[in-house]
Structure 1
Amino acid sequence: MHLPYPPRKASNPAPYLPRSSPLPGLRRTRLKLIALVALAFITLIYLVSRPSNKHADSVQWKPSGKPPVVLVTVLDEKKYGKGYLQTIVENRIQYAEKHGYEAFFAKVGDYDLKGAPASWTAVVAVRHALTKFPDCHYVWYLEQNAFVMNPELKIEDHVMQPSRLEELMKKDFPVVPPDSIIRTFSHVKGQEIDLVITQDKAGLSVGSFIVRNSDWARFFLETWFDPLYRSYNFQKAETHALEHIVQWHPTILAKMAIVDQNIINSYSKGAKGAQYKNGDLVVRFSDCSTAGKAQECETESQPFATKWRKAFANS
């Protein structure tokens, strides 16, 4: 029996390579280690010696509360009469001055909405107010077709105190009525809330809402105003966009509280939501803002204008 021939050696054998010494590799390892230590040391010196930026450092920075609240309203000068808008401006300024707040007014057309409906101006105006008043505690957006009716109620005490929020917030509650499978969290505490809003019979109502000044608030507003959601062409624009992101993003839902309408968003008529009653903070004319009904807003508001002026004069 013959064994097979061994394989033939290559005709061009590899050149002889001398055995490498471990010392060069060891030197390289030590040099790398020294470089990493030096880099870490330089980074530490930079972090310790650099000037502090209180607004960039969300861990250290806390707003001073000057002013405590910024009351934001967007005015549509093309759609509504000058006298009606002046009454709204007067109402906001008187309420803000009484409590040391700031009243911030934006106009439809002030911002480039990239073709989105004008109602999106509200979101940009709130973001603008946070930029202009970086030390405020809260921003309260209240649409133009509304009056502050009770001058005695302060946002800090009436709504935003953590203990007060614990009483007001609806837990394990459908986000979109009547039976949304997405519900507000049951374990969230008052001090964890950064967005306060209400519902009417149709869903979330964005005519009156409050955001706490925080990094989360900026994230929330940027998310809400994302071009993707503006491009969806929702029937109710920013309202349906908000309902969408709240139901799909737990990061936002976890910071949101739904409270009764009568706390910050009573309606002049009860067909679509909770009707205004004496002592409520706000009355909104929710039906008059549809196309072709601008004049009705002024007519409907007149009795309430007389009433809020009397309340403010006596406060």
Structure 2
Amino acid sequence: MHLGIPKKSDLKPRGRNRSILPLPASFRHTLRTYKPNKIIYIIIGLIIFINWLFNGYFTTFLLSSSSSSSSSSKRGFNHLTNQEALQTLQKNHGIYKNEIIVNTNYIFPPIEHAPLLRELTLDKLFKSKLNVDTQEKVYMYNEDEDLNDVNEIKDKSNKENPLDQARKAFKEHGHKVFRSSSSNKKSSPEVVLVTGVDFEQFELSHLTKIVQNRVDYAHANKYGLYVRWIQEFIPSLQEFNNDYKWAKLFIMRAAMHAFPNAKYFWYLDEDSLIMRNDIELISYILEPDSLDPIMLRDQPLIVPNGAIKTYKNVHAKDIKFVITQSKTGLNTDSFILQNEIYGKGLLEFWLDPLMRKYPTFVNSDEDALTHILQWHPVLLSKSTVVPGRTICSLHNSNTAGEDDDVLYYQDGDFVVNFKGCDVHRTCELVLDMYLKKMNPDE
């Protein structure tokens, strides 16, 4: 079973004298027919059995021993990680084939459109059809029709309806990508800060403060910024009825496409606030000398007593994925991916339909990630858990007696995460409280 653990009963013989693995018919025929020279034919039978057991690899090895080195390399991943393969130009694109090239490091939607988009509703932002089984609307991407809609809006009089303006901006935003000019290839930012914002859940004031916080930090450190409406990914989320939490991964993938030459991508959930613009991410945590002392080695992925733990002997220079934990497990509200083959591979594996449609993972991207790291040692060896207060200090209204806690926010911390504020409807209140901490004179 690919997902889950087989039961002991699955491995027991079904009959009194039956083997766990049934013998192939060719082997049984050999033992039954050739009684003289039994030893020779038993050896032949064993070869047939071993060949069957290993799906024909044994015979393949005997027949092609002269080219064994080349065939074995094809079964590995070395041919994908050599310099020739990594430097090959890949002609790919995001959700949309038609792209809008921009020369700014800051790609974010007009946040002032949030109330208008809420008024438009998804019905006027997407094409839809009715699912006959569930009687629910299914929203679809249709790039050609969307572009026709945009062109129709452009052809109208100069005095556009505000709703039309909001709809046009919503449809165009996902097409925007940053591309360095041929004369200035180094103009791409090294780090891109990524955030998804939800116009259905939060009011305009909250969204404005969050995006302005990201703009201020990116500007202070000369980073890129990539922000998308979560609702842009509704058709993808509906495919397997995934929770909105999964949108962060689609946004992260889109950011990597929009900024292909950036080295690091930091996803930070909208329920978080950057408290210090003076902390530069690379020197703070991403350089090996900075990362090595704070890596939580031999740390259970499922705290406190999970069986699978981070590796003891992994080196900081080999880390491609940095994440923190809450009291129960991995916290995907803040994580950093390096833009290279292992970082991209982890993201694609995480987003694979096999993960998104598995019943246990439909509502939890965190559980899916935990499964991946528990069952795939190569990806675990490229990942590390760091203390929560490095990039994701948790808000807690009961701070007394927790001065030495490695999870909860303390004055001077880099980022505060008010995870779960939507459940208690306190997001705006908590956000304003921390903004006052940042700017006590205002």
- Scaled to the shorter chain, the TM-score interval is 0.7 to 0.9
Instruction: Find out whether 1:275 has 2:401 as its counterpart.
Output: no
| Amino acid in the other structure paired with 2:414 | L
Q: Give the equivalent residue in structure 1 for 2:390.
A: 263
| Amino acid in the other structure paired with 1:259 | V
Offset at 1:159? 0.8
Q: Give the equivalent residue in structure 1 for 2:64.
A: none
Q: Distance in 2 between matches of 1:310 and 1:259?
A: 30
Q: Check whether the contact 2:389–2:413 (CA below 8 A) recurs between aligned residues.
A: yes
How many aligned positions are there? 253
Q: Distance in 2 between matches of 1:205 and 1:65?
A: 32
Offset at 1:299? 0.9
Q: Give the equivalent residue in structure 2 for 1:304.
A: 434
Q: Distance in 2 between matches of 1:152 and 1:206?
A: 24
Instruction: Find out whether 1:249 has 2:382 as its counterpart.
Output: no
Q: Give the equivalent residue in structure 2 for 1:80.
A: 202
Q: Give the equivalent residue in structure 2 for 1:68.
A: 190
Q: Distance in 2 between matches of 1:171 and 1:232?
A: 29
Higher relative contact order (CA 8 A, sep 6+): 1
Q: Check whether the contact 1:201–1:273 (CA below 8 A) recurs between aligned residues.
A: no
Which secondary structure state, in structure 1, belongs to the residue aligned with residue 343 of structure 2? helix
Which secondary structure state, in structure 2, belongs to the residue aligned with residue 299 of structure 1? helix
Offset at 1:196? 0.3
Which secondary structure state, in structure 2, belongs to the residue aligned with residue 109 of structure 1? helix
Offset at 1:306? 2.2
Q: Distance in 2 between matches of 1:143 and 1:191?
A: 26
Q: Distance in 1 between matches of 2:204 and 2:246?
A: 22
Q: Give the equivalent residue in structure 1 for 2:324.
A: 198
Offset at 1:307? 2.5
Q: Give the equivalent residue in structure 1 for 2:422.
A: 289
Q: Check whether the contact 2:421–2:427 (CA below 8 A) recurs between aligned residues.
A: yes
- Unaligned 5+ segments in structure 2 are 1-83, 91-184, 399-404
| Amino acid in the other structure paired with 1:240 | D
Q: Which has the higher helix share?
A: 2
Which secondary structure state, in structure 1, belongs to the residue aligned with residue 413 of structure 2? coil
Q: Compared with structure 1, are the counterparts of its residues 229 and 159 closer, same or farther at alpha carbon in structure 2 (3 Å cutoff)? A: same
Q: Give the equivalent residue in structure 1 for 2:217.
A: 95
Q: Check whether the contact 1:141–1:208 (CA below 8 A) recurs between aligned residues.
A: yes
Which secondary structure state, in structure 2, belongs to the residue aligned with residue 176 of structure 1? coil
Q: Compared with structure 1, are the counterparts of its residues 90 and 130 closer, same or farther at alpha carbon in structure 2 (3 Å cutoff)? A: same
Q: Distance in 1 between matches of 2:89 and 2:340?
A: 10
Q: Distance in 1 between matches of 2:301 and 2:380?
A: 9
Which secondary structure state, in structure 1, belongs to the residue aligned with residue 421 of structure 2? coil
Q: Compared with structure 1, are the counterparts of its residues 146 and 210 closer, same or farther at alpha carbon in structure 2 (3 Å cutoff)? A: same
Q: Distance in 2 between matches of 1:107 and 1:305?
A: 23
Which residues of 2 match residues 102-251 of structure 1 at below 5 A? 102-111=224-233, 112-113=236-237, 114=239, 115-234=241-360, 236-251=363-378
Q: Compared with structure 1, are the counterparts of its residues 65 and 260 closer, same or farther at alpha carbon in structure 2 (3 Å cutoff)? A: farther
Q: Check whether the contact 1:172–1:186 (CA below 8 A) recurs between aligned residues.
A: yes
Q: Distance in 2 between matches of 1:70 and 1:206?
A: 17
Structure label with greater radius of gyration: 1
Q: Compared with structure 1, are the counterparts of its residues 234 and 310 closer, same or farther at alpha carbon in structure 2 (3 Å cutoff)? A: farther
Q: Distance in 1 between matches of 2:354 and 2:189?
A: 34
Per-residue CA deviations over 1:72-131 (Å, capped at 9, x if unaligned) read: 111010011110010000000000000001111111121222132111000111111111
Q: Give the equivalent residue in structure 1 for 2:19.
A: none
- Quick one: percent identity of the two aligned structures? 31
Per-residue CA deviations over 1:16-37 (Å, capped at 9, x if unaligned) read: xxxxxxxxxxxxxxxxxxxxxx
Q: Distance in 2 between matches of 1:203 and 1:276?
A: 18
Please report the TM-score for the alignment, with normalisation by the length of structure 2: 0.54
Q: Check whether the contact 1:276–1:283 (CA below 8 A) recurs between aligned residues.
A: yes
Q: Check whether the contact 1:147–1:308 (CA below 8 A) recurs between aligned residues.
A: no
Q: Check whether the contact 2:389–2:406 (CA below 8 A) recurs between aligned residues.
A: no
Which secondary structure state, in structure 2, belongs to the residue aligned with residue 139 of structure 1? strand
Q: Distance in 2 between matches of 1:213 and 1:162?
A: 16
Q: Check whether the contact 2:387–2:406 (CA below 8 A) recurs between aligned residues.
A: no
Which secondary structure state, in structure 2, belongs to the residue aligned with residue 110 of structure 1? helix
Q: Distance in 1 between matches of 2:369 and 2:397?
A: 24
Moved more, 70-79 or 109-118: 109-118
Q: Distance in 1 between matches of 2:440 and 2:261?
A: 32
Q: Distance in 1 between matches of 2:252 and 2:379?
A: 17
Q: Check whether the contact 1:267–1:273 (CA below 8 A) recurs between aligned residues.
A: no
- Unaligned 5+ segments in structure 1 are 1-49, 57-62
Q: Give the equivalent residue in structure 1 for 2:127.
A: none
Q: Compared with structure 1, are the counterparts of its residues 159 and 273 closer, same or farther at alpha carbon in structure 2 (3 Å cutoff)? A: closer
Per-residue CA deviations over 1:250-284 (Å, capped at 9, x if unaligned) read: 12101111000000000111779711112211011
Which secondary structure state, in structure 2, belongs to the residue aligned with residue 279 of structure 1? coil
